[in-house]
Amino acid sequence: MAALSGRDLLSLADLNSQEVEQLLQMATQLKSRQLELRCNKVLGLLFSKASTRTRVSFSVAMYQLGGQVIDLNPHVTQVSRGEPVQDTARVLDRYLDILAIRTFAQEELEIFANYAKIPVINALTDLEHPCQVLADLLTIQENFGSLAKLTLSYVGDGNNVANSLLLGCALVGMNIRIATPKGFEPNAAIIAKAQALADDRTQILITGDPEIATKGANILYTDVWASMGQEAQASDRMPIFQPYQINEHLLSLADPEAIVLHCLPAHRGEEITDDVIEGSHSRVWDQAENRMHVQKALLASILGAE
Ligand code: CP
Ligand code: NVA
C-alpha cells in the first residue's frame, strides 16, 4: 500500500516515481474490488471554481471509504466575504481531517497548506491539476498494460493540465510532446522541473507544430483553449488555436492503436471534434471514471485507511 500518511499533494512533483506506481496499483485494486479500505474521516471540499467530476468523484470516493464530506463552497462560507486564507486554514484544520482545494493561484493553495496541519490536496489551480493526471496515467496503464516509453501528444493550450502531464510523464518514464501556439507554452519552471525529474526513458518536446507532436503518438490529449478564469479571452483565442484542434486528420497521424483523452468538460468543434470524442479511439468516459478510483487510493493512502 502506498504510504503517503499525512502528506499534502500540491503538485504532482510532490510524489516520486515509486509513489505514483503504488498509487496506480492501489487504484487498480480498489477499482476491481480486490482491495476494500475503510476510514472514518472527514474531507472538506473548498472549491472557488466550478466542478462536476472532481467534486463528485472525491465525494463518492470518500463515502465509499466510509468517510464524510463537507462542501465548503466559498459563497456559503466567510471566504467570499474576505476572511483571510490564513485564518480559514487554521480554523478548518481544527475540524477536518483532510482538505481538497480548487482555486486560482497556486500560492493560495500553498498558504493553506502552510497554515493547516491537515493534508491539503490540489483539486486544480491555474498551475496544476495533479489528481486529473493520476487518473490519466491509470487510464493509459489500463489500455497499454504499462506506461514507460509510450508517447503522449498534448495539443492545445499549455495550461494546468499540460503542466501536470509534463510532470506525470517524467515520473513514469513516458515521452511527452506538447504542441501549443507561440506564447501559450506550458509554465517554464514546470518544464525545467519535468526535465530534472526525467530519466533516460523520457523525451520532452515543446513545439509549435501539432503534426510533429502527433506523429506516431500512442496517446492524443487535449483540453479547452480557455480555462476557468480566462473566459474573457476565449473569442480572441479561437482563431489562434484552430490549427490545434484534435480531429480525424490529426488522429490519422498518430499510432493506429492510439487512444484519445480529454480531461473534460469538452467544447466539441473547438479543441476536439465530435467525431473524435465519440469515436472508437476515445477513452474519455473511462478517464472520468478513473478520477474516483485514483482519488480513493490517494485519500486512503494519505489518511491511512485499512
Ligand atoms: N476534469 C475535471 O477536473 O472536471 P471538473 O472541472 O468537472 O471537476
Ligand atoms: N484547464 C481546464 C481544466 C478543467 C478541468 C481549466 O482549468 O478550466
CATH code: domain of residue 146: 3.40.50.1370
Element (H, E) at 210: helix 210-214
Q: Do residue 94 and residue 159 come from a single domain?
A: no
The pLDDT value given to residue 75: 86
In this prediction, residues 33-54 reach a mean pLDDT of 97
The pLDDT value given to residue 218: 99
pLDDT digits (tens, 9 = 90+) for 8-23: 999 999 999 999 999 9
Statement: residue 76 has pLDDT above 70: yes
- Judge whether 69 and 99 are in contact, CB under 8 Å: no
Statement: residue 2 has pLDDT above 80: no
CA distances from 10 to 28, 31, 70, 77, 121 (A): 23, 24, 20, 23, 6
Atom 7 of ligand 1, residue of closest alpha carbon: 52
Statement: residue 46 has pLDDT above 70: yes
- Residue 291 catalytic? yes
In a domain, 5, yes or no: no
Q: Do residue 182 and residue 241 come from a single domain?
A: yes
- Judge whether 70 and 90 are in contact, CB under 8 Å: no
Q: Return the C-alpha cell found at 142.
A: 489500463
The pLDDT value given to residue 54: 98
The pLDDT value given to residue 153: 98
pLDDT digits (tens, 9 = 90+) for 277-289: 999 999 999 999 9
Q: Do residue 155 and residue 254 come from a single domain?
A: yes
Q: Which candidate in 22, 53, 97, 129 is catalytic?
A: 129
The β-bridge relationship of strands 151-155 and 175-179 is parallel
In this prediction, residues 262-285 reach a mean pLDDT of 98
* Band (74; pLDDT cuts 50, 70, 90): confident
Q: Do residue 50 and residue 153 come from a single domain?
A: no
In a domain, 236, yes or no: yes
Contacts of 147 (CB under 8 A, 6+ apart): 137, 140, 141, 172, 173, 174
pLDDT digits (tens, 9 = 90+) for 133-145: 999 999 999 999 9
In a domain, 1, yes or no: no
Within 10 Å of residue 38's Cβ, how many Cβ atoms?
Answer: 12
Statement: residue 1 has pLDDT above 80: no
Q: Do residue 140 and residue 109 come from a single domain?
A: no
Q: Do residue 77 and residue 139 come from a single domain?
A: no
Q: Do residue 69 and residue 160 come from a single domain?
A: no
Contacts of 289 (CB under 8 A, 6+ apart): none
Coil/strand/helix, residue 207:
strand
Count: domains in the chain: 2
* Nearest residue to 131 (alpha-carbon basis) of 142, 122, 120: 122
Distance CA 77, CA 79 (A): 5
- Judge whether 85 and 77 are in contact, CB under 8 Å: no
Q: Is 53 in the pocket of ligand 1 (CB under 6 A)?
A: yes
The β-bridge relationship of strands 98-102 and 68-71 is unpaired
Q: Is 52 in the pocket of ligand 1 (CB under 6 A)?
A: yes
The pLDDT value given to residue 73: 86
Domain residue limits at 244: 132-287
pLDDT digits (tens, 9 = 90+) for 187-242: 999 999 999 999 999 999 999 999 999 999 999 999 999 999 999 999 999 999 99
Q: Do residue 140 and residue 282 come from a single domain?
A: yes
Which residue is listed with cell 515521452? 175
- Judge whether 154 and 184 are in contact, CB under 8 Å: no
- Residue 230 catalytic? no
Q: Which candidate in 22, 132, 141, 295 is catalytic?
A: 132
Distance CA 99, CA 129 (A): 15
Statement: residue 296 has pLDDT above 60: yes
Q: Which candidate in 177, 283, 291, 293 is catalytic?
A: 291
Q: Do residue 191 and residue 276 come from a single domain?
A: yes
Report the share of the chain in percent with pLDDT over 90. 97
Give first-to-last CA distance, the chain, whole Å.
10
Task: Name the closest ligand to CA 224.
Answer: 2
The pLDDT mean for the chain works out to 97
Q: Do residue 145 and residue 213 come from a single domain?
A: yes
